[in-house]
Amino acid sequence: MSYLSLSHRYVLIFVIPVEAELKYVIGMLEYIVSRLTSKESVAQAISQIRDGGAENDQDIVSTGCFLNLNCGHNNQYSSEEREKLISLIRRSFGSRLEIV
């Protein structure tokens, strides 16, 4: 490996082992930017600013929310994470959804 430049060594040692995770994070950031800058989101935000703000929670511009999970693999959520997830799902579906 002595023939490789320092930058190539850095890539081999640090980047390649986490390449999948980096691609995921980059993809999520690209998605967030595209949602925040979509014509619909921008038009709704401009309309609310012109109209003097939102009348209620339903009028607030919403492009989603983040649920910070420590580990969700194989449904291994902590009790607090599970409660937040259930609350988020219920809120998105209204009171029509019953989670067992």
Percentage of the chain lying above the pLDDT 90 cut = 3
CB 97 within 8 A of CB 89: yes
- How high is the mean pLDDT of the chain? 75
Percentage of the chain lying above the pLDDT 70 cut = 72
Find the mean pLDDT for residues 10-28: 84
Query: Looking at residue 86, what is its pLDDT?
Result: 84
How confident is the model over 42-56, as pLDDT tens digits? 787 777 777 765 555
The domain ranges of the chain are 1-58, 65-100
End-to-end Cα separation, the chain, in angstroms = 55
| Distances from the Cα of 55 to the Cα of 41, 46, 72, 91, angstroms | 17, 15, 36, 19
Find the mean pLDDT for residues 21-29: 88
Q: Which three-class secondary structure state does DSSP give residue 36?
A: helix
Find the mean pLDDT for residues 73-85: 80
